[in-house]
Every structure is written in structure tokens, then in C-alpha cells.
Structure 1
Amino acid sequence: MNSMYFTEEHHLFRKSLQDFLKKEVVPNVDKWEETGVIDTGIWKKFGDMGFFGINYPEAYGGLNLDLFYTVILLEELQKVNSGGFAAAIWAHVYLSMTHLNAEGSEDIKQKYLVPSITGDKVGCLCITEPFGGSDVAGLRTTAVKEGDFYIINGSKTFITNGVYSDYLIVTAKTKPQSGNKGISIFVIDRETPGITATKLNKLGWRASDTGEIAFNNVKIPASNLMGEENKGFAYILQHFALERLVMGINAHARAEYALEYTLEYMSQREAFGKSIDKFQALRHTMVDLYADMEICKEFNYSVAYRLNKGEYVVKQATMSKLKSTKMADEVIYQCLQFLGGYGYMEDYPLARLFRDSRLGPIGGGTSEILREILAKIIIDKKDYKPII
């Protein structure tokens, strides 16, 4: 393990997390993948271990640890071989809870952030819409203020934890004529009348409850507004760097898991009187894949280091997601090939890894959108700066 970034305390944390996942998660993964439902009790177990509070303030029950504890959590979650379960966890911790901590009032933090850290409440972040995709500024969901309340109407889709979560962080237009200058963010209880959710049938991430959500005259207190009205777009952009880095780290971790599994398989699989890791064509392909993974991993660590210091790393985090997710797809594709027919079988991990990995270049901003963002930075010399 790279001692440039990881201390002895980090290593002890990783070992504790590995033991926890091996005991509480791995034996249940196949069932969750088959049913599409994660046992609700696992959330409380994560909370009791402090895993949800890693980088949140001690005042709300968190541990206020550096970002490399987050890196470890993300890496180890990828190695349980359920992209859906991993997504359910990190979407709660690094999407919905990030907004609660950054934009929530003290009352909101006490009501939602504290129980999110303990695992008593689970959240989801609702930005993407059926007609918008990556066009955040073009969202159509509206929030109309009526006295001390807002009335929410619209729909969201591809929302991780969108069906079974306890609360929703929702973006809506409070000033529709102002484009991205008229977006606000709200927290809404799941049981609020007018909310309906439909579970989506996905290629991968089968354990995750990805949902399409409709809001029909949903009435919420004005105090559920997070931050300032019409500042929502700025809040969203502020957190994109973390989200993209999270997905970049996920990608290098699942690629590493695939390589480690495949190397072990190749050392035992024999053909023509010797193990297949002795065939030059396979050996050389393997080291190319391993080198690609290591390059992405080291880059992601350096971005995490800079983000941990408070630097604005939107360019680097965008590169992290773009290149790491592409690398992971290519690595896992080839690893499945190394297993031959067994790679295509559901009894082996590569089939699920192959499906789960494919979401990487799509979710959290497609690769096409990321390339255009980078083109504006690199070619057009656009200088993105912190908005808040």
C-alpha cells in the first residue's frame, strides 16, 4: 500500500472494514442481487461502525477524518462484487449527505444528517430528469412558494436509493425564467403525500433500487429549503468534483479486483500442460492492463490528496472519472476473456463485474459531457473557479 498517502491508522481502518464486509455483506450479496432489495438492517450496522460519518463533523456524530479514509471505504466496497450495493452506500454518504452537511440548516442537520450518520435514515439525491439527462440547467421540476410552503411538481429518474430511501434531496426550479440561476434544493420526507416511485429494471447494479420518482403537488414547509433560494445550481456544481472522483476511485478499485481475481484464476487454470499465466500473449496483455489500472489509481490518489487540502480540482476530478471508467471497462472486458467460457457464467464474478462496470461512463455525467467540459478547459481556456 502506498505510504505516500496511507498511514498505519489508515491500514488498521482498512483491515477493520474488510473484516466487517466479509462478515456482514459478502454472505448476503447474491441474495440482494437476486431480489433487488438490500436488507435494511445493514444500514444500521454501517452506522454503528462509524462508516457513514467518516468525513462529517463530530458535532453531528461524525469522525471528521481525512479523505483517504473515504478512498479506503470506496475501494473495499468495490471488492464485494456488487456495484449496486456499493452505489447504495456511496450515494447515501457522498451525494445526499454531502448536501445536507453543506447546505442544510441546523434544524435540517439535526433531523436528517445525524440519523444518516447513525444509519437510521437513508437518503437519495434527485437531480436527473427523464427529459434532461446531463442537462442539469434544463430541469423541469418546479417548486412554487405559497406562504410558508413550497409545492413541488415534476419527475426525476435514474435515482440511486430512489425507492427505499427515507428522504430525498430534490432540485427544482423556483424561478423558471432564470435558467440555471433559478434552481433551488430541498429535502423532502419520503412519506410526504404526492410522492410516487417506480423501480427501474437495469442491466447491472441489480441490488440497487434505482428509481423514477414523480412529485404531484407535494407540499413541504419552506424551512425544507437548503441554502439560499435560486442558488441550487451553484451548490450542485460545487460538489461535482467529489462525485466524479468517487466514481473514478470506484473504477480503479473494481478494475484492481478484476485483475487480482483473474491472476489467481490464470495461475490455476491449465492448458496444454501448463498454467495459462505462463503464455506470453496472456502475460503481456495482463501487464498492460495492470499498468493502466495503476496509472489511474495513482492519479486518483493525487487528486484525492489535493481535494483533501481544499484545492478546487474540477479538471482533475473530471479526468479521473473519464479515464478511470473507460479503463475499468477495458480491463474487465479483457479479464472476462481470460476466463473463457467461465467468464460468461454467473457463477463467476466477471459477468456481474462486466455489467456493473458499464454504468461508469454513463452515471454521474456521461463521458461525452465530461469531454466537452475538459475541451472548454483545455482548448477554450475556460477557467472554472469555486462558485461559493
Structure 2
Amino acid sequence: MPAQQKQQYTFEEVEKHNKEGDLWIVIDSKVYDLSRFADLHPGGPNVLYAEGVAGKDATDTFFGLHRHEVLLRPQYARLQIGTIQGEEEMIKAPIPGSLSKVPYAEATWLSDGYFSPYYTDNHRAFQQAIRKFFEEVVRPEAIKCEENGKRISQEVVDKMSDLNIIAMRLGPGKHLHGRTLLGGLVKPEEFDYFHELILNTEISRFGTRGFSDGMLSGATIGLPPVWNYGSPELQAKVVPEVLSGKKYLALAITEAFAGSDVSGLQTTAVRDGDYWIVTGTKKWITNGTFADYFTTGCKTEKGLTVILIERGEGVSTKPIKTSYSATAGTAYVTFDKVRVPIGNTLGAVGNGLSVILSNFNHERWMVTAMSVGAQRIIVEECLKWANQRIVFGKPLTSQAVIRNKLGKMITRIEACQNWLEIITHQMNNVRERICTAHRYLRPSRFFILNGDLLNIEYLIYCNTPSQQMTYNEMSSKLAGQIGLLKQFVSRCGRETAEDATQVFGGRALTVTGMGKLVENYHRTSGFDAILAGAEDVLGDLGVRQAMKRMPKDARL
């Protein structure tokens, strides 16, 4: 009924409408006429009478069975005919961009009365704006794509591109120069890894794990080798296409023959004049089903080499069915004697391992950030549910075993958040910069300083007030820490997924309804332990790097 026709009623008036064909209920001070809807109720009309809610306040009963979003759907919202006189609704529709007031639902730096040495007012403004955009534009798309398995629509990609969100997902760097970020909210030279951290955590808030990767994560991990190691001609063509969202790119490294063992790749590239002839297969390639380019690891006679391959004759892809949504575009890729110009070689022939490894740490950090964002939502879901779910006449929180699980979940997410932030802080600050010249840049851009060949254009960027680490610096200083962090966060995530399932009970096993976010997270949290490097391999990497740094005089 239109808003202007809604009336105010007393509880006494509502109580008169409590029989078949004349059924009213009250939910959070709002009066709903279910007379015609009763027969359409998914649980059948008898449920409404058996629960004893006919003609009464059904608020507690409703929120014991349904999410608030149900009331906001047009088909149900129109059933409201009025409100209870003298009362106001307590549970309002969320305002896009707003923060949750549930304890531990937000990172500490976003909570009232708390402080952080890492975040500025610009970070706070950025977080509010990006959350508003994601909730208004991306969230509906995420839910739809997660269900139907289709890739993100070009319309949403274009909106992201207009704000340069695709470019910002790749972190700070020269690719941001001259761009207007989020409508001018942050300057390219001010954009740092905390901005990107915010971006990654906000992406993962929807409980749509497959879509998070389907939102062009392939470009995030596959484009840096192009701009860091590609020729100027290749960069000029590919980088604008990908950052504008007109073309899609995937990182094609993993094979059925080699996962974490990158040196064991079997795809071959044989020189034939001005072309490579590439033959082989890749597996579990994110965004591969719809990618236009593939940043591909290949074996050559001089060793591992990375080559950018454009989709065309000889390139075929087919989807791989995984435990998360097909919207991620996970693919099996076949290269059947594909002719690729030599100019598409990324870096020196035989130096492919360095090209690949230079990008891994940023990818692992990104996966970790998204995992932390997803875990925090699960903590919020569990706190809400345990507070509103009534068992044995009391809220779930009256059970000590439930409080114990909640305490462990909170402890884990806060530990993950704080370790992630201190590493991000290291990525943002470096005491000693050495900006090496790129072999493809024009000699006129170089100059000599203390015996080092420097690129003046890049040096200007390096000496801006915000001095972020390069990918190579991450490798030398933080690879071990990032590996251990990822292992810790992914294991925490799976423990939280198990605890959350117990808190929600049977509802955590269904893909819709009260426990839908928990079900999705429980089913997909293992991806964080595998993607970008298996957690056991990364844990071992962290220890091996620590051993290399052990001082020779260290003795008990």
C-alpha cells in the first residue's frame, strides 16, 4: 500500500485480525496484512497460526527465522499497511557506506573511540566512499553472479573503470599517474597500500567468494609483469585496455603438472623466427574462461620465460567446476602451437622465475587482505545470530560454549588484522630506495648517481612523501613474513568457518536464509589456503628465509 495510505493502529486493533482470511502481524512496530499472502508463505499458512503470531507482535519470531533483508524486498514491503501508534522501528534499512555498530564487526581503526597510527583522514574518507560504491553498485551484481555463475557484467566493469578501481586494485605505482582516483578523493601520489588494503577488505564483505575473484582478480595478478617487464609498445597497447576494463587478463602459471613448484612447468615455447610457438596446458586459471590475454609461464631452451599470449587461434579454454561459483571464471587453458610475437616476451628469456616471483608477494598479501575482510563479516554474523537466536528460552549467548567460540573468533580476527596492518605499514615505508632503470626505457631518461643507473621518471615517483616498497623489495624484505601471515590467516579462517557453522547449526548448511554467508564461507575458505601458494609451502618459505638471516654468532 502506498506510504500516504498507511495508517497507525493500536495492538488492540491488530489483535482482531487473527483468523484465516484475515491475518495481520506486527514486526518491529510495522503492521503487515498477510491475509492474501498466507497461502503463498514458503512454509505454508499453518506456520503462521502454529507459531501463535496471528494478530500479535511477531518480531522475535520473524528474526529467529528470517534476515532483515526479507522485509526490504518489494514483494514483502508492499504488505505493510501501517505502523503501531506511538512506536518507532528499531531495525532500519542499512545506509550505504555506513559502519556497523556491532562490536568487532569493523576493524578497530573504524570503531568509535579507538585510534590507529596507520590511517589518515583520507583513508577514512576513502573507506566510506568505496563501501558506498560497492554496496550500491557491486553488491547486487555480486549476489546475482554468485548465483547464476556468469561473469561480472560490462556495465559494472565500466563503472569501476570510471573511478579507476581496476587500476587501484593493483596497488600504488606508476600506473596510477595522471588518473583521477575515486572522483579525485585521493591523489595518485598519495595512494598507498593502506588504500589498497581497504579496497580488498571491502570487496570481500558480501559473502560471495567466487565473485571476489571474478571481479577481475586475474588482471590484478597478471598485469604487473606486463608493465614491469613488457616493452613500451606492449605496455602502450595492453595496459590501457586492461585498466579501462575493455580487455581481460589472466595469470596462467599453474599446471596439473606443477602447482607451487613453478620451476616444474611443462608448457613449452620454441623460437621460430620472430615468433614463439607455445604448446601446453594450464589449470585452475582464475578469470581464464573470459580472459583476452594470458600472462603465461613457459619452458624455453634458455629456461623459464614469461610470455603474454593473446586469445586467438590455438588458444582454447573450458570451465573447471570448483566448490565456489563459476563467476570466478576458473579455467583449463590449452595452447595448441600458438604463434606469439617475440615482442610479447616479458623480461629476459630464461629470467621468468624472477618475473613470476616478483609478483607473488603482492598477490599473497592481497589474498590475505581479502580473507581478513571475509572473516570479519562472519564474526559479525555470528555475534548477531547468537544475540537474537532464542534457545531454551534464552539467547544463544547464554551458553558458555557459544561464548567460548565467539571469543576465539574475535581473538583470531584481531590477531590477523594487526599482523596484516604491520606488514602493510612496512610495505608503505622503506628507508633506502634503489630505483633501477628498466631496460626498455629510453636512455635519455637515465642518469648516474653513486655508480647506479637510475630512471629519472621513476625516481620522481620514488621520492614522493609516500615511499612504497616495490615488488622486488617485498621479495627481499617481506616474502617470508607475508608467507607466514598468509598461512596464519588462512588457518584462522578455516577455524572460524568451523566455529561459525556450529553457532548457526543447520542454518549454516543451506545456501539461502539466515546462515547463507556462513555456508558460503565454510565452503570456500579453503581457497585462501591454496591460491597464491599453498599455506604449508608458504610457512616453510617463511622459516627458510628466517634461517638465512640467522646471525652466525647466534648461540644459546
* Alignment pair present for 1:251 and 2:366: no
Query: Following superposition of structure 1 onto structure 2, how do residues 90-109 of structure 1 map, counting pairs within 5 Å?
Result: 91-109=217-235
Instruction: Kindly indicate whether the alpha-carbon contact (under 8 Å) linking 1:249 and 1:300 is maintained by their aligned counterparts in 2.
Output: yes
* Alignment pair present for 1:339 and 2:530: no
For 1:4, the equivalent position in structure 2 comes to 117
Instruction: Kindly indicate whether the alpha-carbon contact (under 8 Å) linking 1:84 and 1:206 is maintained by their aligned counterparts in 2.
Output: yes
Shift of 1:94: 2.6
Query: Following superposition of structure 1 onto structure 2, how do residues 173-252 of structure 1 map, counting pairs within 5 Å?
Result: 173-175=299-301, 182-190=303-311, 192-252=312-372
Shift of 1:197: 0.4
Shift of 1:144: 1.1
Instruction: Kindly indicate whether the alpha-carbon contact (under 8 Å) linking 2:249 and 2:292 is maintained by their aligned counterparts in 1.
Output: yes
CA distance, structure 1, for counterparts of residue 399 and residue 139 of structure 2: 33
Equivalent of 1:49 in 149, 159, 163? 163
CA distance, structure 2, for counterparts of residue 68 and residue 89 of structure 1: 20
Deviates more, 1:201-210 or 1:315-324: 201-210
Secondary structure, counterpart of 1:207 in structure 2: helix
What amino acid is the match of 1:369?
Answer: V
CA distance, structure 2, for counterparts of residue 28 and residue 47 of structure 1: 15
Q: Which sections of structure 2, spanning at least 5 residues, go unmatched?
A: 1-107, 110-115, 182-187, 430-468, 552-556
What CA deviation, in whole Å up to 9, does each residue of 1:230-288 have, x standing for no partner? 11101111122111111221222111110011111111111122221232221122112
CA distance, structure 1, for counterparts of residue 420 and residue 374 of structure 2: 14
CA distance, structure 1, for counterparts of residue 349 and residue 178 of structure 2: 25
Deviates more, 1:51-60 or 1:294-303: 51-60
For 2:404, the equivalent position in structure 1 comes to 284
What CA deviation, in whole Å up to 9, does each residue of 1:64-114 have, x standing for no partner? 521111101110111021111111236234301222222122222221112
Query: Following superposition of structure 1 onto structure 2, how do residues 279-318 of structure 1 map, counting pairs within 5 Å?
Result: 279-309=399-429, 310=469, 311=473, 312-318=477-483
For 2:534, the equivalent position in structure 1 comes to 366
CA distance, structure 2, for counterparts of residue 6 and residue 375 of structure 1: 30
**Greater share of helix residues, 1 or 2?**
1
Q: TM-score, normalised by structure 1?
A: 0.92
Q: Which sections of structure 1, spanning at least 5 residues, go unmatched?
A: 384-388
Equivalent of 1:136 in 252, 255, 262? 262
For 1:376, the equivalent position in structure 2 comes to 544
Secondary structure, counterpart of 1:154 in structure 2: strand
Shift of 1:60: 6.9
Secondary structure, counterpart of 1:79 in structure 2: helix
Instruction: Kindly indicate whether the alpha-carbon contact (under 8 Å) linking 2:481 and 2:542 is maintained by their aligned counterparts in 1.
Output: no
- Structure number with bigger Rg: 2
Q: TM-score, normalised by structure 2?
A: 0.65
CA distance, structure 2, for counterparts of residue 130 and residue 277 of structure 1: 46
Secondary structure, counterpart of 1:359 in structure 2: helix
For 1:324, the equivalent position in structure 2 comes to 489
For 2:199, the equivalent position in structure 1 comes to 73
Instruction: Kindly indicate whether the alpha-carbon contact (under 8 Å) linking 2:219 and 2:251 is maintained by their aligned counterparts in 1.
Output: no
Deviates more, 1:149-158 or 1:40-49: 40-49
What amino acid is the match of 2:310?
Answer: D
CA distance, structure 2, for counterparts of residue 229 and residue 264 of structure 1: 55
RMSD, matched Cα:
1.9
CA distance, structure 1, for counterparts of residue 270 and residue 361 of structure 2: 30
For 1:386, the equivalent position in structure 2 comes to none
What CA deviation, in whole Å up to 9, does each residue of 1:298-317 have, x standing for no partner? 10111111122225200110
Query: Following superposition of structure 1 onto structure 2, how do residues 115-154 of structure 1 map, counting pairs within 5 Å?
Result: 115-154=241-280
